[in-house]
């Protein structure tokens, strides 16, 4: 069990991460979409969509709620699992930072439940869901740190934020260095 959590911030392509878990910034339907969701579905192959359809058919007939998380296999991805989480959409009035924080902590809970040692996150809710990258960065880093302090030793010992664009990378780097 890990006692110290290492947080990394890198620019890169989430679909190429060889962590145990990659987190999908999914929509509640879990059936693919644009951005991170579309890229992960494309890279994972048809098995991911089939697994998501099965989740919808069996345990999530109404879809996945905002702030919650659920796992599927990673299929053709380097990651063993995909943890899907639905970020809050500011354009729909979902402006509570606690909902956003829950995306990160719920994903960590699922990853720990799988016995994962490493997890890679995108900037959930930044971009099309209308949250500013600097706010997502602050909430995400605070949520991960609080989760680690509250949980103590878990299997998860590496949290990597994998950010596609230089401005989002800069926002996360700045949030990490701001007290």
Instruction: Please tell me which residue in 20, 37, 89, 109 is annotated as part of the active site.
Output: 37
* Residue 1: inside a domain: no
* Residue 96: inside a domain: yes
* pTM as predicted: 0.95
Domain housing 104: 6-177
Q: How far apart are CA 52 and CA 57, in angstroms?
A: 9
* Residue 131: inside a domain: yes
Q: What does the pLDDT look like over 126-176, one tens digit per residue?
A: 988 999 999 999 999 999 999 999 987 789 999 999 999 999 999 999 998
Number of structural domains found in the chain: 1
Q: How far apart are CA 164 and CA 174, in angstroms?
A: 16
Q: What does the pLDDT look like over 47-87, one tens digit per residue?
A: 999 999 999 999 999 999 999 999 999 999 999 999 999 99
Q: How far apart are CA 167 and CA 170, in angstroms?
A: 5
> Nearest Cα to 25, choosing from 3, 15, 138, 143?
15
Q: What pLDDT does residue 2 have?
A: 42
List CB contacts of 87: < 8 A, sequence separation 6 or more.
Answer: 25, 66, 67, 99, 100, 103, 124, 125, 129, 131
* Residue 104: inside a domain: yes
37 is catalytic: yes
* Residue 66: inside a domain: yes
Q: What pLDDT does residue 178 have?
A: 73
Q: Does the structure show a pLDDT above 80 at 1?
A: no
């Amino acid at each position: 069990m890990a006692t110290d959590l290492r947080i990394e911030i890198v620019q890169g392509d989430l679909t190429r991460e060889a962590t145990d878990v990659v987190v999908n910034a999914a929509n509640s339907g879990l059936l693919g979409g644009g951005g991170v969701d579309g890229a992960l579905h494309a890279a994972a192959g048809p098995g991911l969509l089939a697994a998501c359809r099965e989740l919808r058919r069996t345990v999530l007939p109404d879809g996945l709620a905002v702030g919650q998380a659920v796992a599927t296999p990673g299929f053709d991805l380097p990651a063993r699992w995909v943890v899907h989480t639905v970020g809050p959409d500011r354009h729909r009035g979902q402006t509570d930072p606690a909902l956003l924080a829950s995306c990160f902590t719920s994903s960590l809970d699922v990853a720990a439940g799988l016995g994962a040692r490493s997890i890679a996150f995108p900037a959930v809710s930044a971009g099309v869901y209308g949250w500013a990258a600097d706010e997502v960065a602050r909430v995400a880093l605070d949520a991960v740190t609080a989760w680690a302090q509250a949980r103590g030793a878990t299997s998860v010992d590496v949290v990597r934020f994998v950010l596609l664009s230089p401005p989002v990378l800069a926002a996360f780097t700045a949030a990490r260095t701001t007290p």
